[in-house]
């Protein structure tokens, strides 16, 4: 298995049309696969010319999203996040 | 000419809801006005609207069931489906339009379930329009936090040895689950296997029907 | 009404992980007018007059109250209309006049939909 590429979702909370769910902001996951490029929905939504962006399927563990509230820590969530919402990160926990 | 659908059954096998004789609502008034303006402005035609309704009515879970059954019986097709589900379903002859599809395979150790927390993204061009519960606050809110409790409400209880993988359909991809093939179906033909594949099993909130009760 | 001084920027439609009750099991058959709204969205967006992102933007800009009190396709036609006006396909005045004309045809959907 190739090395995991970890990414942190930006924790920003701007108003307007955004496709990055709030519950994932600030959380760290790893890239499951890279898709796209796809036009930026934050521009498409307002009828503007949209910049093509890589779209990453990022996989998070329930533990890394919900902490002690996690139902089953090892279950996972995958979500598609546009590249400009992601920053390279360290693995979230020592394993 | 008065519309009269009472002699016809909808694709779901029920009589059409007799909406024509309900009091007109503000939003229905708007739909009629918008539709007429779009026709007058040359954006569309009455025929094109009717054809689009027919196209959507024709899309239903049996299409997905045929895809799943073929994946169960044709290893090369399964590989193609996991590689590029849009291309594989088109190759089977299904008109999925521009939809970008990813197939998620359930195994002995992994169970996939699909949700859209931000709106109601759904593989409608393969499975038809989503069920009402898929668009509900409860499903959208809870599935990413307590998927096993949500699955239990649908009658699906998974062992601890199974990893649940929730897929939040946030952007450009749509998802269809390939449920695990039920035991006791060895040697079955794809057409018969397809009768076991339910809509919910392709969302991940259900399992295929058992061959004993099908 | 109390002032919400604890607002953190999370918008009402962004529901993942929030508390909610049991998943409802009710299901309805789509009526003709709902199917027409769906078709208008697919056709008008397919022809480039607006995008699904524009549809979502207007739905999100509607209040949480709209989510609770309007049906799915009621919210959709409101958003489709808003996007078409923004795109200049027709004007608000044209819509207003046509809606009045529609209402004058009768008191049921069937009567109002027949010119």
Query: Best of A18, A22, A43, A71 to disrupt the C interface by mutation (most C CBs within 10 Å)?
Result: A22
Best residue in A37, A72, A81 for a mutation probing chain B (most B CBs within 10 Å): A72
Give the tens place of pLDDT for each residue, B65-121.
Answer: 999 999 999 999 999 999 999 999 999 999 999 999 999 999 999 999 999 999 999
Q: Does domain B61-203 have CATH number 3.30.110.30?
A: no
For chain B, the domains span 25-58, 61-203
Res. B2 pLDDT band, cuts 50 70 90: very low
The predicted model gives B35-47 an average pLDDT of 98
- pLDDT (tens digit, 9 = 90+) per residue, B146-182? 999 999 999 999 999 999 999 999 999 999 999 999 9
Is-contact B113 B203, C-beta < 8 A? yes
> What is the share, in percent, of chain A residues with pLDDT greater than 90?
92
Q: CA dihedral defined by C94, C99, C102, C103, rounded to 10 degrees?
A: -150
Residue A3: which domain range?
A: 1-55
Q: Which chains touch A (3 or more CB pairs under 8 A)?
A: B, C
Quick check: B88 and B77 in contact, CB under 8 A? yes
Does a structural domain hold residue A69? Answer: no
Which of these, C61, C30, C101, lies nearest to B34 by C-alpha position? C101
Alpha-carbon span C12 to C19, nearest angstrom: 13
| B69-A74-B138 Cα angle (round to 5) | 70
| Structure tokens belonging to residue B9 | 């059954």
> Contact B17/C23 with Cβ under 8 angstroms?
no
SS3 content of chain B, % helix, strand, coil (to 5): 45, 15, 45
State the Cα angle at C32 between C26 and C33, rounded to 5°. 95
Q: Do A20 and B117 touch (CB under 8 A)?
A: no
Query: Rounded to the nearest 5°, which phi and psi values hold at B105?
Result: -95, 125
Number of domains in chain A: 1
Active site residues of B: 116, 119-121
Residue A59 CA to residue B170 CA, distance in Å, equals 13
3-state percent helix, strand, coil for chain A, nearest multiple of 5: 20, 40, 45
Residues of chain C with pLDDT under 50: none
Could you tell me if C2 lies within 8 Å of chain B, comparing CB atoms?
no
Task: Please tell me the number of Cα atoms within 13 Å of C25 on its side-chain side.
Answer: 5
DSSP per-residue codes, C24-90? P----PPPHHHHHHHHHHHHHHHTTSS-HHHHHHHHHHS-HHHHHHS-HHHHHHHHHHHHHHHTTSS
Distances (CA, A) of B205 to B132, B179, B181, C38, C101: 14, 10, 15, 25, 46
What pLDDT, on the 0 to 100 scale, is given for residue B182?
Answer: 97
- Nearest by CB to residue A80, choosing from B144, B145, B170, is B170
Q: How far is CA B124 from the centre of its chain?
A: 5
pLDDT digits (tens, 9 = 90+) for A13-53: 999 999 999 999 999 999 999 999 999 999 999 999 999 99
Asked if the structure places residue A72 within a domain, the reply is no
| Predicted pLDDT at B18 | 52
Rounded to the nearest integer, the mean pLDDT of chain C is 95
Q: Is the ipTM of this complex over 0.90?
A: yes
Alpha-carbon Rg of chain C, whole angstroms?
Answer: 17
């Amino acid at each position: 298995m190739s090395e995991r590429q970890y990414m942190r979702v930006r924790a920003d909370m701007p108003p307007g049309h955004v496709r990055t769910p709030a519950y994932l902001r600030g959380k760290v996951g790893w890239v499951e696969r890279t898709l796209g490029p796809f036009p930026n929905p934050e521009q498409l939504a307002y009828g503007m010319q949209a910049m093509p962006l890589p779209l990453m399927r990022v996989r998070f563990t329930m533990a890394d999203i919900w902490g002690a509230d996690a139902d089953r820590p090892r279950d996972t969530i995958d979500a598609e996040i546009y590249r400009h919402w992601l920053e390279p990160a360290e693995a979230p926990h020592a394993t | 000419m008065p519309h009269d659908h009472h002699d016809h059954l909808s694709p779901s096998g029920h009589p059409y809801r007799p909406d024509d004789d309900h009091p007109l609502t503000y939003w229905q008034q708007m739909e009629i006005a918008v539709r007429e303006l779009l026709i007058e402005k040359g954006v569309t035609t009455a025929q094109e609207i009717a054809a689009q309704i027919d196209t959507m009515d024709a899309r239903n879970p049996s299409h997905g069931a045929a895809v799943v059954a073929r994946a169960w019986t044709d290893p090369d097709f399964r590989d193609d489906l996991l590689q590029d589900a849009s291309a594989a379903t088109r190759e089977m002859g299904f008109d999925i339009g521009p939809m970008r599809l990813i197939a998620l395979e359930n195994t002995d150790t992994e169970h996939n379930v699909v949700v859209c927390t931000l709106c109601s993204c759904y593989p409608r061009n393969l499975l038809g329009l989503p069920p009402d519960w898929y668009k509900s606050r409860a499903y959208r809110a809870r599935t990413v936090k307590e998927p096993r409790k949500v699955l239990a409400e649908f009658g699906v209880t998974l062992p601890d040895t199974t990893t649940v993988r929730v897929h939040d359909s946030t952007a450009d991809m749509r998802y269809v689950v390939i449920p695990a093939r039920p035991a006791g179906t060895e040697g079955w033909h794809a057409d018969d296997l397809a009768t076991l594949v339910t809509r919910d099993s392709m969302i991940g909130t259900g399992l295929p029907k058992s061959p004993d009760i099908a | 009404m109390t002032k919400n001084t604890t607002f953190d920027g999370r918008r009402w439609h962004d529901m993942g992980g929030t508390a909610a009750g049991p998943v409802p099991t009710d299901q309805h058959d789509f009526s003709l007018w709902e199917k027409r709204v769906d078709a208008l969205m697919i056709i008008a967006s397919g022809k480039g007059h607006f995008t699904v992102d524009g549809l979502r933007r207007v739905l999100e800009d509607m209040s949480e109250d709209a989510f609770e009190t309007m049906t799915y396709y009621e919210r959709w036609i409101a958003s489709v209309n808003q996007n078409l006006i923004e795109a200049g396909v027709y004007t608000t005045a044209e819509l207003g006049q046509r809606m009045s004309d529609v209402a004058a045809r009768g008191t049921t959907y069937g009567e109002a939909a027949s010119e």
